[in-house]
């Protein structure tokens, strides 16, 4: 197995198809990584804040999720950074997946070519 010179962590939930694809890609390319499941390992403000700083809360908020559609309109309308953070902490499935952390850089979503560029 090839060890990337930085710590690689993949964040998401086990039963997400996109997370499964990302995990499979990393395994197929022998990239040593740690998997952090939001549901079992939890999520904290300390963990979420660097993602928001790097990616922006808009990029992280999954407005296509079932959880999003189940929220009352009063919670979905007029979101700002603070409200979005609170919602993502309360409902981690609102976080777009997967989030890939390489050292102190963060990436959201999965695409074969993006990962191929990140891990030459």
Q: At a CB cut-off of 8 Å and minimum separation 6, what does 58 contact?
A: 84
Q: Is 103 an annotated catalytic residue? A: no
Residue 78, φ and ψ in degrees, nearest 5: 65, 35
Contact indicator for 10, 35 with CB cutoff of 8 Å: yes
| Beta-bridge partner residues of 73 | none
Annotated catalytic residue within 10, 13, 16, 100: 16
Are 39 and 14 spatial neighbours (Cβ–Cβ below 8 Å)? yes
Which two structure tokens, joined as six digits, stand for 52? 């928001």
- Catalytically active residues, by annotation: 16
């Amino acid at each position: 197995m090839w060890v990337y010179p930085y710590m690689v962590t993949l964040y998401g939930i086990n039963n997400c198809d996109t997370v499964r694809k990302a995990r499979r890609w990393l395994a197929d390319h022998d990239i040593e990584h740690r998997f952090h499941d939001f549901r079992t390992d939890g999520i904290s403000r300390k963990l979420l804040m660097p993602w928001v700083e790097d990616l922006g809360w808009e990029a992280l908020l999954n407005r296509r999720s079932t959880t999003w559609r189940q929220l009352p309109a009063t919670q979905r309308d007029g979101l700002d950074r603070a409200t979005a953070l609170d919602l993502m902490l309360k409902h981690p499935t609102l976080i777009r997946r997967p989030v890939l952390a390489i050292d102190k850089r963060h990436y959201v979503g999965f695409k074969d070519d993006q990962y191929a560029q990140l891990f030459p």
